[in-house]
Amino acid sequence: MNSIPNVICDDIVKAYHECGINVGDIVLTHSSLKSFGKVEGGAQTVIEAVEKAVGPTGTVVFPTFVQRDFDNAYKNWNKETSPSDVGYVTEVFRLQPGSLRSDQATHSVAARGRMAAELVNGHTDYGPRMGVFGDYCFAYSSPWQKMYLWKAKIVFAGVSTLYNTFKHFVEYSFVEETLLSISDINKRCDAMSELSVYDNPKRKWPKGVWPFHDATVTESALEQAGILGHSRCGNSNLICLGAVKYVDFVLEMFRKSPGQFINDEFCNWLEKYTEKRDNNVY
């Protein structure tokens, strides 16, 4: 039987630096505490390590989503009391003094550090993007847009890129881009009417099409392109990628070969409204 490694703060700091995190970075972490093995100090040590890795000029971000009762997320949302249910570390971080949380029911984040206030403020203030989870989760004023513009980095600590929330930012951006490319207003309205949008809080998955895609396929493409950084800490594998590189790379894949990455139903929608050629290039 393999022994459970004993992980300390400096081990995690080293792993973050080895996979591509630098002092001053804005870093979003998707994490599994148990993946490390035994962490001395538990979730608090993981948080301290990330803060130490980016230093006093950096910003630490964790997702603080409400997912288990998604059907009632908008109805029950309270920025101060709604618990994060996407990992124990995220909830510990949310509750710590100095952590600031964005005000959005399904895809909020909590942050601490130099850019924390600017990052979380005004999540739903402006720039809605129509989408399957709601129109403001990935709005222009959202932390997701800001992390993209501010060149944040994403670390997956013990979890795969299947948990990459930026994949949905890409989906929203691709839908928006496609709709704007349809010059005929009536045709654009018809296209919009067939999209899956969260307009009824009683339904988790409303009817319609959406460009859900296989993150394992995109991860393979990212690996081949040399975009992913890797390191190891205890039993945990860490993966790091830049938000800009990820979003731009995946968007370009969607533009060139949507049929390789996106579900057939959405590709049929693309072909119908953008006259996409049969070879999956439009």
Q: Give the torsion through C-alpha atoms of 50, 52, 54, 59, to 10 deg.
A: 70
Quick: pLDDT tens for 39-72: 999 999 999 999 999 999 999 999 999 888 888 8
Paired sense of beta strands 109-113 and 26-31, if any: unpaired
Is pLDDT at 280 greater than 50 in this prediction? no
Predicted local distance difference test score (pLDDT) of residue 203? 54
Angstrom distance (rounded) from CA 103 to CA 4 = 39
Q: What is the mean pLDDT of residues 186-195?
A: 94
Collect all residues with Cβ–Cβ distance below 8 Å to 78 and sequence separation of at least 6: none
The one-letter amino acid code at 139 reads A
Concatenated DSSP letters of 70-86:
GGGHHHH--TTTPPP-S
Q: What backbone torsions phi and psi does residue 240 show, to the nearest 5 degrees?
A: -130, 140
Is pLDDT at 155 greater than 80 in this prediction? yes
Supply the angle between the helices 88-95 and 42-54 in degrees, to the nearest 10. Answer: 70
The one-letter amino acid code at 61 reads V
Tokens of 159: 């979890």
Quick: pLDDT tens for 102-134: 999 999 999 999 999 999 999 999 999 999 999
In degrees, to the nearest 5, what angle opens at C-alpha 91 toward C-alphas 95 and 6? 110
Predicted local distance difference test score (pLDDT) of residue 69? 83
Collect all residues with Cβ–Cβ distance below 8 Å to 168 and sequence separation of at least 6: 107, 131, 133, 137, 138
Quick: pLDDT tens for 206-261: 678 999 988 888 999 999 999 999 999 999 999 999 999 999 999 999 999 999 99
Domain residues of the chain, as ranges?
6-274
Tell which residue, 35, 33, 96, has the closest CA to residue 60: 96
Concatenated DSSP letters of 42-109:
HHHHHHHHHHHHH-TT-EEEEE----TTGGGHHHH--TTTPPP-S-HHHHHHHHSTT-EE---SSS-E
Q: What is the mean pLDDT of residues 16-24?
A: 98
With the C-alpha atoms ordered 173, 203, 108, 163, is the resulting torsion angle positive or negative?
Answer: negative
Rg (C-alpha) for the chain, rounded Å, is: 19
Concatenated DSSP letters of 180-231:
HT---HHHHHHHHHTB-----TT-SS-SSB---B-HHHHHHHHHHTT--EEE
**Count of Cβ atoms closer than 10 Å to residue 274 Cβ:** 16
Predicted local distance difference test score (pLDDT) of residue 202? 54
Q: What is the mean pLDDT of the chain?
A: 92
Angstrom distance (rounded) from CA 41 to CA 184 = 59
Percent of the chain with pLDDT over 70: 94
CA 137 to each of CA 93, 102, 122, 171: distance values in angstroms, whole numbers, following the listed order = 21, 10, 11, 12
Q: Would you call 110 helix, strand, or coil by DSSP?
A: strand
Collect all residues with Cβ–Cβ distance below 8 Å to 252 and sequence separation of at least 6: none
Per-residue pLDDT band for 201 (boundaries 50, 70, 90) equals low
Per-residue pLDDT band for 168 (boundaries 50, 70, 90) equals very high
